[in-house]
Amino acid sequence: MNNTNVHYGYISICLHWLSALCVFGLFSLGYYMVELTYYHPYYKAAPELHKSIGLVFFAVMVFRVFWRTQQISLEHLFSHSKLEQKLGKIVHRVLYVLIFAIMFSGYLISTADDRGIEVFKLVTIPAIGAIIENQEDIAGLVHQWLAYLLISLSVLHALAALKHHIIDKDNTLNRIIGKRQKLQEYHAKTNKKTVH
């Protein structure tokens, strides 16, 4: 369940992949739904689904951040260079910040007309109303561009993970997909890497 010095625990792993699924899913749905015309059958349903999933994802992210504070961080992998460790740390933090900023701007678009947001028709998140002029348009632009930035950074992040797996042949990708490596094997590999 918990992270160790070498492995991510199953909760961290599930939270990571659930977040990745939500980000790619919400991006695709958002991109698709803004092109729909008034007479399209999903004109209303698609944004409702986008907002509902977005708000459930918010709760998941709050739990993810809480869970992270309770767990050992695995960002200092010995086989990574100092630069890679620093870059990884920065990119991970920027990913977290971008996700929350996108959620907040999405909330500001949706509630600018004083109407709350229904989450799967079960609960309604209240609106605080417009706090600035043209809130819907400004928050819409911020939401759109931050979403593009998030997707670009996520793709770069995934490419970096593949680089570790294919070129460096280290344990970075294996431990986020839950593939366990024997401790002795791991130390033998990382020691070899640090000698180079």
Task: For residue 108, state whether it binds ligand HEM (rule: CB under 6 A).
Answer: no
Distance CA(127)–CA(161), nearest Å, equals: 39
Distance CA(143)–CA(46), nearest Å, equals: 17
Distance CA(140)–CA(91), nearest Å, equals: 24
The interface region with ligand HEM, picked from 37-45, 48-56, 126-134, 182-190 by CB under 6 A, is 48-56
Closest approach, Cβ 70 to ligand HEM, in A, equals 12
Provide φ and ψ at 58, rounded to 5°: -60, -45
Task: For residue 103, state whether it binds ligand HEM (rule: CB under 6 A).
Answer: yes
Distance CA(135)–CA(113), nearest Å, equals: 9
Q: How many CB atoms lie within 10 A of CB 109?
A: 20
Task: For residue 117, state whether it binds ligand HEM (rule: CB under 6 A).
Answer: yes
Closest C-alpha among 98, 93, 97, 68 to residue 3: 68
Site for ligand HEM in 5-44 (CB under 6 A): 16, 19-20, 23-24, 26-27, 30-31, 34
By CB under 6 A, name the binding residues for ligand HEM. 16, 19-20, 23-24, 26-27, 30-31, 34, 47, 50-51, 54-55, 68, 73-75, 77, 88, 92, 95-96, 99, 102-103, 106-107, 109-110, 117, 140, 143-144, 147, 150, 154, 157-158, 161-162, 172-173, 176
